[in-house]
Amino acid sequence: MRTLRTNVLVYLLLALGAIVSLFPFYWAAVSATNESGKVFAKPPILKPGAKLWDNISNLDKAIDIGRVVSNSLIVVTIYTALSLMICTMAGYAFAKFKFKGRDALFSAFLLSMMVPFHALVIPLFKMMAAWGWLNSYQALILPNLAYPFAIFLMRQNMQAVPDAMMEAGRIDGVGEWKLFTSIILPSVKPALAATAIFLFMYQWNSFLWPLIAASSKSMYTLPVALSSLFGLSRIDYGQVMAGVTIATGPIIVFFLLLQRHFISGVLGTAVKE
């Protein structure tokens, strides 16, 4: 009897937690479809309205949302592809080879995870300014391409690849690069997916660096554009909520599709060490 009662209580508490976790998303999406002033309506409006297109077209007038979304997409796509490749190669070297300086180098990467981005931001800004790269895609993409946590994730997962697989390839005379691309990579596909999601989310949500390095309106990424709208003295809430929904919607869909990989691949790996 006692366990039945506690079970019901546990489910109730969990359901309450789930509602609290999900409600703000729902409310943001609903507010994006209602008239601007209605976010403060009494009683609150919790049903979708018909103003979504009005809000989006206002948003477009204010910040050229098409341009902003494509800036974000360009930066995130190129960043994720390059970083995944670089970090996977590094993780492979750390996991599957013995060489001089390996442990020291790996420790250096791990230790750098403790360094706050704030400690890099001023030199990075000065470098980009000196190269004339402020307000460019490369300024947004280059820092953090060698992402220590992604290297760590790939190393952990590569360690599970049996050495026998590599040796068999080498005996057959497969070259090192071919060995890596056609034998190693296919065997760590879930880890690649997990790391890719991690990198994608990191860059999609990144704020401080784009705020500093891409301050001209035509180079705004989504978080910077939203922040600038929200900083205005007269805020159009419908517009802002439409922007928030555009910024969160795709990443939620992306996450839901791949969440199994992400949760076990990223967080599971982090804990095992």
Partner 1 sequence: MRTKSYIPYLFLTPAIVLFAIFMVYPILYSFLLSFQTSQGGEMTFAGLDNYRRLFSDDIFFTALKNTFVLLVVQVPIMLFGAIVLASMLNSIKRWKGLFRVSFFMPAVTSLVAYSIIFSIMLMEDGLINQFLGALGIKAIPWLSDPIWAKAALILAMTWRWTGYNMVIFLAAMQNIPESLYEAASLDGAGRFKQFFAVTIPQLKPVILFTAILSTIGTLQLFDEPYTLTKGGPSDATLTIGMYLYQTGFRYFDFGYASTLAYVIVVLIAVVSFIQFKWTEEKA
CA 177 to chain centre: 29
Distances (CA, A) of 233 to 226, 229, 249, 272: 14, 9, 26, 48
Question: Can residue 17 be called a binding residue for partner 1 (CB under 8 A)?
Answer: yes
| Closest approach of partner 1 to the CB of residue 50, in Å | 21
Q: Which residues between 223 and 242 bind partner 1 (CB under 8 A)?
A: 223-224, 226-227, 230-231, 237, 240-241
Question: Can residue 26 be called a binding residue for partner 1 (CB under 8 A)?
Answer: no
Question: Can residue 79 be called a binding residue for partner 1 (CB under 8 A)?
Answer: no
Judge whether 186 and 161 are in contact, CB under 8 Å: no
Question: Can residue 170 be called a binding residue for partner 1 (CB under 8 A)?
Answer: yes
Residue from the set 79, 109, 152, 220 that interacts with partner 1 by CB under 8 A: 109
Question: Can residue 257 be called a binding residue for partner 1 (CB under 8 A)?
Answer: no
Residue from the set 76, 140, 142, 199 that interacts with partner 1 by CB under 8 A: 142
Distance (Å, whole) CA 64 – CA 58: 9
Amino acid at 42: K
Q: Which residues between 175 and 234 bind partner 1 (CB under 8 A)?
A: 176, 180, 201, 204-205, 207-208, 212, 222-224, 226-227, 230-231
Residue from the set 14, 81, 232, 257 that interacts with partner 1 by CB under 8 A: 14
Residue from the set 5, 66, 104, 123 that interacts with partner 1 by CB under 8 A: 123
